[in-house]
Amino acid sequence: EAQVTQNPRYLITVTGKKLTVTCSQNMNHEYMSWYRQDPGLGLRQIYYSMNVEVTDKGDVPEGYKVSRKEKRNFPLILESPSPNQTSLYFCASSLWSGDSNQPQHFGDGTRLSIL
Amino acid sequence: AQKVTQAQTEISVVEKEDVTLDCVYETRDTTYYLFWYKQPPSGELVFLIRRNSFDEQNEISGRYSWNFQKSTSSFNFTITASQVVDSAVYFCALMHTGGTSYGKLTFGQGTILTVHP
């Protein structure tokens, strides 16, 4: 089954304690991306990756790191989490091609609470 | 900088009504992609459509249709004969396909659609 898997789904942690949210896809997609969703602000892109070893900043990259060592994995790292990073996070992947209707697949979301 | 505006924060309709969700975008790119996503109350994000800026042909998929007008920088989404299951938050988004921000995606604020029985 084609899917994007995020872990954990829920996490409550404390300020300053490093954490990693994993994202894995089994569709051999080139493009992967992380978003955060906050009430009143909608969805905002954090980082994206066009392929292995290629990552770029989205609109809100501060306080986050990513890596793309393998095609299937795109972990989101919070080196020193702060309460303003409390949010709902989504990972997504898609093929990168000229076909207009290539779907983008999303993970189920990770709800992070930083106390 | 690119920007996506969904002017309608909330829309409420009665079942079987047609409803149009507006999306207006700003970009300096000559090529870009436009997207619509659905987020039902259960919270998952569902991809609905991706449209290349070169392709202004309107798209129809069942009760859903999209009207892309480059001249007015709009990519509107219409649901015909709405159903309660269409109740969700709908997001429009724009992706760079050129320059240093190649692949960057910008979302609108979202429109909350409520369809009443």
Each residue of A62-90: pLDDT tens digit? 999 999 999 999 999 999 999 999 999 99
Average pLDDT value for chain B: 91
The residue that leads in pLDDT, B53 or A19, is A19
Check whether A102 has a pLDDT greater than 70. no
Amino acid at A88: L
Check whether A25 has a pLDDT greater than 60. yes
Does the N-terminal peptide bond of residue A83 adopt cis geometry, omega within 30 degrees of 0?
no
Q: Say yes or no: B106 contacts chain A, CB-CB below 8 A.
A: yes
pLDDT for the residue numbered A96: 73
For residue B37, the chain A residue with the least C-alpha distance is A104
Q: End-to-end distance of chain B based on CA atoms, in angstroms?
A: 41
3-class SS of residue B31? coil
Mean pLDDT for B48-60 is 86
Least confident of A28-32, A52-56, B21-25, B57-61: B57-61
How close, in Å, is residue B16 to chain A by CA atoms? 27
The residue that leads in pLDDT, A88 or B103, is A88
Evaluate whether B3 touches B26 at the Cβ level (below 8 Å): yes
CB within 8 Å of chain A, chain B residues 29-68 = 33, 35, 37, 43-47, 49-52, 55
pLDDT band with cut points at 50, 70 and 90 for residue A41:
confident
Say yes or no for a CB contact (<8 Å) between B50 and A104: yes
Residues of chain A contacting B101 with CB distance shorter than 8 Å: 56
Q: Give which of B38, B49, B50, B45 is closest to B82, Cα–Cα.
A: B38
Q: Say yes or no: A98 contacts chain B, CB-CB below 8 A.
A: yes
Say yes or no for a CB contact (<8 Å) between B104 and A88: no
Q: What percentage of chain B carries pLDDT values higher than 90?
A: 69
Structural element, H or E, at residue B36: strand B32-39
pLDDT for the residue numbered B1: 74
pLDDT for the residue numbered A75: 98
pLDDT for the residue numbered A100: 47
